Chain A
Amino acid sequence: MKPRINAFWLSCATLVVGGLVLTEVLHNDYYFNALYVVLQGTLMAVAWNILGGFTGYVNFGSAGFFAVGAYTSIFLDKYFGHVLPLPVLIAAAALVCALIGLGVGYLSLRLKGVYFSIATLAMAIVLATLISNWRYMGGARGAYILTPDTYLWFHSYIQMLFMVMLLLTVGAVAISRYLNTSRLGRGLAAIRDDEVAAECAGVPTLRLKLISTTLMGALMGIAGAPYPFFVTFVDPASAFSLFVAVNAIAMPMIGGTSHWIGPVIGALLLGSAQQVITVTVSSELNILFVGIMLVGFVTLAPQGIVGLVQKYWRRAR
């Protein structure tokens, strides 16, 4: 096992260094915009998979967590007069969304399967209604946010946001990988396969589920926190967009949900394809594409790309 762990951390370090090099050599901000969107999708997909893939609870309310993360940073930024640094905002968003995640975890005590999924969808819409009626946050009309004009040593603000997102995503993948391979992850898999049997076998199901939902919430909040600075204008319709939710589900489903690399593969593939389609054709077609990919994969290859590859390897041996 030793060399594989090193390979993982090595590739993480390579990615981060590669990102830093990219900010030095590439000066077209468009690329960083596109990469930011892909990374944000990856982070959301990895977060969704911790609950959806490892634990088997389907969350339809991803957009709710994402939006609460975004609105937490808008609130704090406005309240303290645009002085708080981005890491503080991200940490605050993580905290708020972790608490919501914890609440959702307790919900899973009573609600299994489909009922849990519908409840998370309901939660996202209740949150959206609350924000739409909260005038301080701009209500339904939305809120503008000013991007700070300092950006460390980078050449533009978006470059810095890109690096922040890259670090966050790599961190999230590391956490997800740890969960997947550790003792904790085996407990989660036991819950996914048969919750009653897991409980009988002595798996602390409630504690594991709470860890899983809290972690998922926090990571989604983290994904949402820098979003206002990325778009500079946030309204409930864009922050609670169903597109965020469907992407968070489609990416792991396409990549494969049972392995930590699945959502990463799915997100990178789907995310890059979306960028290409948005630029070359139209953004509506891009949403349609996600829908078709999702339906196609769940009907024809339910184990995702990871499942297909595993099957191929087994046959090759």
Chain B
Amino acid sequence: MLSVDLLTNALVAGVLLGGFYAAVSIGLAISFGQLDIVNIAHPAFVILGSYVAWILNSRFGFDPVLIGVLATPIFFLVGVVMYRIYYAAFERTGQESLSGLAFFFGIMFIIEVGIMLVYGVDYRLVAASYIGKSINLGPIGIPFRMLVPFSAAIVMTGAIWLYLSRTFMGRAILAVAQDPLALQLMGADPVRIKQFAFGLAIATTSIAGSLLIIIGPVEPSIGRDYIGRVFAIVVLGGMGSINGMFLAAMILGVVESVVSTFAGPSWAPAVAFGVLLLTLAVRPSGLFGRR
């Protein structure tokens, strides 16, 4: 039975979810899409962001989104250090494909198990005055725990989009994606730009993580569910295109929400990977492909 109310609710929830997915994926759109660094550990950093939000929220009662924003410099530095190691060990020697993948796979494991060892496998959640409330527009209910992450995500992706397309450094990042050699001939250092861009990509996970823990409780291994989602979104969006990534995130959010409303939540994880496999098989360049 297809009920209109149920469908509208699923669609609205899907759009809100899609906005949040955009926040989770934008970092990967930069690192994987622009820099060709296959950061499989990206969702693990998001979980790390959630745990930072949880620790500071439960100890000092700060607002989770505020914590996410304040923690970005630290995440940025972590990203810079990660890129230095990655560059020295793999990119310089041209071994990034096999060894680089294994490297990030290992990093993902270390983060996940590290959190598990220190804080256990319990579900953690944050407290904020708006969590649990919702606006009702007729039959449609919009919970604040979805609306706040959605708004924050829109602001963040919008800001990064503006940054990449308007500022000098942003354009340099886009340029390094297209042709690092040409950039070098222009007198710019591709390694420094990539290092900055990778730091930026990891910095976004701090905010994305704080949004994740507003939406629902978080435990260390939840990041694995996001591997498929973020890669599906970036690949479907067309590798590095921020607009495409945003559209893809919306599509995935809506499809997933509709599927879990009508077929049951246990099928939701397959949606992302189904979309991913389909995209890879049919149109590997994605919606807004640059190749």
Residue positions of A touching B, CB distance < 8 A: 52, 56, 58, 60, 107, 110-111, 113-115, 117-119, 121-123, 125-126, 128-130, 132-133, 140, 242, 246, 249-250, 253, 257, 284-285, 287-288, 290-292, 294-295, 298-300, 302
- Number of interchain pairs (Cβ within 8 Å): 120
B270 at the interface (CB under 8 A from A): yes
Asked if residues A123 and B270 are in contact (CB atoms below 8 Å), the reply is no
Give the secondary structure class of B's interface.
helix
Nearest neighbor of A295 in chain B, beta-carbon distance: B106
Contact A140 B284, CB 8 Å, known A114-B101, A298-B89: no
Nearest neighbor of A140 in chain B, beta-carbon distance: B266
Asked if residues A121 and B228 are in contact (CB atoms below 8 Å), the reply is yes
Asked if residues B110 and A253 are in contact (CB atoms below 8 Å), the reply is no
Asked if residues A246 and B97 are in contact (CB atoms below 8 Å), the reply is no
Chain A residues with Cβ below 8 Å from B106 are: 246, 250, 291-292, 294-295, 298
Residue in B102, B270, B274 with the greatest tally of chain A CB atoms within 10 Å: B102
Residues 84-109 of B contacting A (Cβ, < 8 Å): 85, 89-90, 93, 95, 97-103, 105-109
Nearest neighbor of A56 in chain B, beta-carbon distance: B98
> Assuming A115-B235, A292-B110, A294-B105, what are 15 further A-B pairs, CB within 8 angstroms?
A52-B98, A115-B280, A121-B227, A122-B231, A126-B270, A126-B277, A130-B270, A133-B267, A284-B113, A287-B109, A288-B117, A295-B103, A295-B106, A298-B106, A302-B93
Contact A118 B231, CB 8 Å, known A123-B277, A132-B266: yes
Chain A residues with Cβ below 8 Å from B101 are: 58, 114, 117
Chain A residues with Cβ below 8 Å from B108 are: 291
Chain B residues with Cβ below 8 Å from A128 are: 269
B188 at the interface (CB under 8 A from A): no
Asked if residues A299 and B266 are in contact (CB atoms below 8 Å), the reply is no
- Give chain A nearest CB distance to B193 CB in angstroms: 21
Asked if residues A291 and B99 are in contact (CB atoms below 8 Å), the reply is no
Chain B residues with Cβ below 8 Å from A284 are: 113, 116-117
Nearest neighbor of A130 in chain B, beta-carbon distance: B270
Chain A residues with Cβ below 8 Å from B270 are: 125-126, 129-130
A125, B229: Cα distance in complex, Å:
11
Chain B residues with Cβ below 8 Å from A292 are: 106, 110
Asked if residues B266 and A114 are in contact (CB atoms below 8 Å), the reply is no
Chain B residues with Cβ below 8 Å from A290 are: 109
Chain B residues with Cβ below 8 Å from A242 are: 109, 221, 224
B114 at the interface (CB under 8 A from A): yes
B276 at the interface (CB under 8 A from A): yes
Chain B residues with Cβ below 8 Å from A113 are: 97
Asked if residues B98 and A58 are in contact (CB atoms below 8 Å), the reply is yes
Nearest neighbor of B120 in chain A, beta-carbon distance: A284
Asked if residues B105 and A118 are in contact (CB atoms below 8 Å), the reply is no
B38 at the interface (CB under 8 A from A): yes
A242, B109: Cα distance in complex, Å:
9
A225, B31: Cα distance in complex, Å:
39
A178, B185: Cα distance in complex, Å:
49
Chain B residues with Cβ below 8 Å from A119 are: 276-277, 280
Nearest neighbor of A125 in chain B, beta-carbon distance: B273
Chain A residues with Cβ below 8 Å from B103 are: 294-295, 298-299
B135 at the interface (CB under 8 A from A): no
Asked if residues B276 and A299 are in contact (CB atoms below 8 Å), the reply is no
Nearest neighbor of A57 in chain B, beta-carbon distance: B98
Chain B residues with Cβ below 8 Å from A56 are: 98
Asked if residues B109 and A122 are in contact (CB atoms below 8 Å), the reply is no
Chain A residues with Cβ below 8 Å from B109 are: 242, 246, 287-288, 290-291, 294
Chain B residues with Cβ below 8 Å from A302 are: 89, 93, 95, 99
- Give chain B nearest CB distance to A118 CB in angstroms: 5
Interface string of B250-291 (1 = CB under 8 A from A): 000000000000001011011001101100110010000000
Asked if residues B114 and A298 are in contact (CB atoms below 8 Å), the reply is no
> A122's contact among B85, B89, B276, by CB below 8 Å, is which?
B276
- Give chain A nearest CB distance to B44 CB in angstroms: 11
Chain A residues with Cβ below 8 Å from B113 are: 284, 287-288, 291
Chain A residues with Cβ below 8 Å from B274 are: 126
Residue in A118, A250, A292, A294 with the greatest tally of chain B CB atoms within 10 Å: A118
A240, B228: Cα distance in complex, Å:
15
Asked if residues B105 and A122 are in contact (CB atoms below 8 Å), the reply is no
Chain B residues with Cβ below 8 Å from A58 are: 97-98, 101-102
A249, B221: Cα distance in complex, Å:
19
Residues 191-239 of B contacting A (Cβ, < 8 Å): 221, 224, 227-228, 231-232, 235
A60, B158: Cα distance in complex, Å:
33
Asked if residues B110 and A288 are in contact (CB atoms below 8 Å), the reply is yes
Asked if residues B228 and A110 are in contact (CB atoms below 8 Å), the reply is no
Chain A residues with Cβ below 8 Å from B116 are: 284
